[in-house]
Amino acid sequence: AELPVEAWVDASELTLESIQTASKDWSGEYFQMPPAYSAKKVDGQKAYAIARKGGEINLKPAPICVSRYDIHSIEHRIVDGHNVCDAHVTIACTKGTYIRALARDLGKTLAVGGHLIQLQRTVNGPFELSACKSMEEILEVIHGLPPLAVDL
């Protein structure tokens, strides 16, 4: 996170069902407000650079579409003596969607705040993580190739 925690809110009462219901508010087509700490340009400067200097940022909401916002499971735990709730989600969305902003907005809807702990992009355009090879697999293939003789 870019900033320290501003306030702690007890999230012990959150349920999987309440989070699933709240996520519906952030599905479909709508205009999303980008986070202040984003690479969006404001008067030729990146918003995060302005935010880090304490400057005023006037970002405009951008059109997005969240076609899938699935809450799979939740886990309650204690962090620094405070009850928090982690949600494990899958999101399918259009280019330009800020996942950190989805977490922020869902947290606002639930009145507990929200941020990301982990993000894994599984699809980007025509590329799918499930079809990717690990570095070890690539090196194994390279090392299995016959030596290449080159006349100098």
Q: What is the pLDDT of residue 46?
A: 87
pLDDT > 90 fraction of the chain, expressed in percent and rounded: 64
Distance CA 113, CA 11 (A): 9
Q: Cα-flanking dihedrals φ and ψ of residue 13, to 5°?
A: -85, -10
Residue at 3 is within a domain? no
CATH of the domain at 98: 3.30.2350.10
Domain span at residue 42 reads 16-119
CA 123 to chain centre: 13
Q: Is residue 112 part of a domain?
A: yes
**Domain tally, the chain:** 1
Whether 38 and 47 have beta carbons less than 8 Å apart is answered as: yes
Q: How far apart are CA 77 and CA 88, in angstroms?
A: 14
> Can you give the pTM of this predicted structure?
0.79
Domain-located, residue 138:
no
Give the pLDDT score at 51: 85
Q: Is residue 135 part of a domain?
A: no
Could you read off the pLDDT of 12-33 as tens digits, one per residue? 999 999 999 999 999 999 999 9
CA distance 12 to 75: 10
Give pLDDT, residue 2. 59
